[in-house]
Structure 1
Amino acid sequence: MIATWVRMVSSLFVGASCLAAPVGRMDEAGKFWHFPAMSQSPIPSWNLYGEDSPFPDLLHIERIVDRAAGLDWRIAPHRHLHLHQVFLLTGGGGRLSFDGVAHELVPPVLVNLPRGVVHGFAFAAGTEGFVMTLPAADFPELFGPEAETAAALARAWAGPVPEGVAAGFAAIAAAHEGQGAFRRLRLRAAALDLGCAVAEAIGAPEAAPEVADPRMARFEALIRRELASGWQLVDFARELGLSERHLRRLCRAATGLSAHAYLEGVRLREACRLLAYTRMQVQEVGFALGFEDPAYFGRVFARVTGLSPGAYRARLEG
């Protein structure tokens, strides 16, 4: 039900772009493919491609045919600000491009796409495999600053499929569809195991990956720290040692979003999480996120998701 709902809700984010390299040829200069949208308008930032819905489940996994067939097997350049994706192609193939360089993908192939990397696909019709999507903030063991796997997983990469990885994807897909005891714990354990296998396949980076502006990480950390305080942009800017205007420019350059939209997005994602995973009353969720007026919280939530908080929770439980 949650997987279906992730496809249905309207989006929190709009923003910026990228694509991948061929197995065995990652160090070669690839061909540059022109995407008109890249020069004419901002490349979107999605939660899942074509959607900017809240992400209430622990993770998302689906077959590539289910994601790409309805899009004529082409996924235009886009990026995910908070989501990490791993693709397994077992049949078919196509082109993947990240950082503007496109390469052929010949299955079996494993693809690692960190959050913030602009990427796009042109799959061969009938391509088989899986895509797993992880909210990075929910897996600090893999992506946190102290994680042993963080440096490897921060690389956009395509390469051979290690032994056992295909079985790992299949196990996660089966657990994701199930509703048995310890579902979340089993999913988490399987995702951590697969993440370690992917990091091991990638190996240590030859050079330190390009680091995003650290002020954006501090901005998001402050938003999460002050969820209940009702801070406005001016408060965050002051804490960061910036003018409000500078913070707006920084956020737009880093994410393609206005600072207000970014702030609202972080708060509303947390609202979705609390509604999905706790039994807090709707007004308690609003208070926890700094909304003093429950009615106003309900209006903001409905404007973003298309549903009232109560209807959103009921839909997840349906």
Structure 2
Amino acid sequence: MATVLHEQGLFADGPIWGGLHRLSSKVEAHAHDFIEIAVIGPGQGTHVTARGEHRLRHGQAVVLRPGAWHGFEDCADLVVANCCLSAQALRSELGGIYQVPALRRLLWTEPVAPGSRGVAVTVLGPDAADEAIDQIRRLEADLSSARPHAGRALGRLVTVLGILADASVPEAAGPAPHPAVAASIARMEAAPAEAWRLDDLARAVSLDPDYLGRLFVRHVGVSPLNHLARIRAERAVDLLAGSDLPAARVGAAVGWDNPTYFARRFRELVGLTPTEYRARTRPAGGADRPSR
């Protein structure tokens, strides 16, 4: 299979993709520049990520942010259903998902928390997982038909996300995002290469810097500048995977002018240096869809 899965090829027919796989062999570690939800069904296997190796259990769901990498080892009839979302679409037409507390926690907050390396794991339970897997199987069929059913596929996605939201612990979801936090995130996402300072962000939303910092920790789980670092790392992923720019220029393009600092921060957030990440994200054989 390819060692990278790119948005451009995967989402040619829309911002959603789904696939059902039964794994009985090793899947080499690979990276991608989109959001992936992997729902685990029956079978056995070990999941390998930048956070280490973890034995998989029926009923788990793994969320990977852009830049996260993963692979599978010691698989024996392991059922894995993948539901993939375009990162660009999640910032635009699918952005309303952010307003659902349980999904905000699972897709945004937990995978960007310190030490997460872009990976979050939640437990749905076998019954809920089987229901989500069936919807992803139907989603795959909707998108692979001669005339893809985009509207029906969107409905399947909503159902899958609903299953994840219902299976999450309500009190762990956190309060709705404060308007000042949402406005600050929008500013950073619109111009991640800007030399943002906490004072600048606070002034733009007419708040005391310390208070804005506390709001970020309460609603996002990290400080404003740590959240900016994650945004920059995810944008760097796009450039490393989709361009031939030297790593130093990639760092400068996302706001990290010092190549050494860029390499260190990128490794902290992704688990690989920019050079190592690019080595994993060169297509093998030109494939652009999962073949697990």
TM-score, normalising length from structure 1? 0.48
Cα gap change, 1:128/1:221 in structure 2, threshold over 3 Å: closer, same or farther? same
Determine the structure 2 residue equivalent to 1:310: 275
Q: Is 1:301 matched with 2:266?
A: yes
What amino acid is aligned across from residue 195 of structure 1 in structure 2? L
Spell out the pairing of 1:170-249 with structure 2 (5 A cutoff). Answer: 194-199=153-158, 211-249=176-214
SS state of the match for residue 32, structure 2? coil
Q: Which of 130, 134, 140 in structure 2 is aligned with 1:169?
A: 140
Distance 1:127 1:314 in 2: 28
Spell out the pairing of 1:77-226 with structure 2 (5 A cutoff). Answer: 130-134=81-85, 137-139=88-90, 142-144=93-95, 166-169=137-140, 194-199=153-158, 211-226=176-191
8 Å CA contact 1:55, 1:272 repeated in 2: no
The one of the two structures with greater contact order (alpha-carbon pairs below 8 A, sep at least 6) is: 2
Moved more, 303-312 or 246-255: 303-312
8 Å CA contact 2:81, 2:136 repeated in 1: no
Determine the structure 1 residue equivalent to 2:57: 73
Q: CA deviation at 1:137?
A: 4.3
Q: Which has the larger radius of gyration?
A: 1
Q: CA deviation at 1:254?
A: 0.7
List runs of 5+ in structure 2 lacking aligned partners: 6-29, 47-54, 67-76, 104-123, 163-174, 285-292
Distance 1:152 1:245 in 2: 25
Spell out the pairing of 1:14-33 with structure 2 (5 A cutoff). Answer: none
Cα gap change, 1:79/1:293 in structure 2, threshold over 3 Å: closer, same or farther? same
Q: CA deviation at 1:292?
A: 2.4
SS state of the match for residue 312, structure 1? helix
What amino acid is aligned across from residue 32 of structure 2 in structure 1? P
Distance 1:200 1:75 in 2: 16
8 Å CA contact 1:55, 1:269 repeated in 2: no
8 Å CA contact 2:35, 2:84 repeated in 1: yes
SS state of the match for residue 81, structure 2? strand
Q: CA deviation at 1:313?
A: 0.6
8 Å CA contact 2:34, 2:87 repeated in 1: no
Q: Is 1:64 matched with 2:40?
A: yes
Distance 1:74 1:193 in 2: 27
Moved more, 129-138 or 300-309: 129-138
Distance 1:152 1:242 in 2: 23
TM-score, normalising length from structure 2? 0.51
List runs of 5+ in structure 1 lacking aligned partners: 5-53, 84-125, 175-185, 203-209
RMSD, matched Cα: 4.8
8 Å CA contact 2:3, 2:281 repeated in 1: yes
Distance 1:239 1:294 in 2: 30
Distance 2:240 2:263 in 1: 12
Q: CA deviation at 1:215?
A: 2.4
Cα gap change, 1:55/1:314 in structure 2, threshold over 3 Å: closer, same or farther? closer
SS state of the match for residue 280, structure 1? coil
What amino acid is aligned across from residue 202 of structure 2 in structure 1? A
What amino acid is aligned across from residue 60 of structure 1 in structure 2? E
Q: Which of 274, 289, 295 in structure 1 is aligned with 2:239?
A: 274
Q: CA deviation at 1:251?
A: 0.9
Q: CA deviation at 1:168?
A: 2.4
Deviation digits for residues 118-137 of structure 1 (CA, Å, limit 9, x no counterpart): xxxxxxxx995624142554
Question: How many equivalent pairs are there?
Answer: 203
SS state of the match for residue 212, structure 1? coil
SS state of the match for residue 262, structure 1? helix
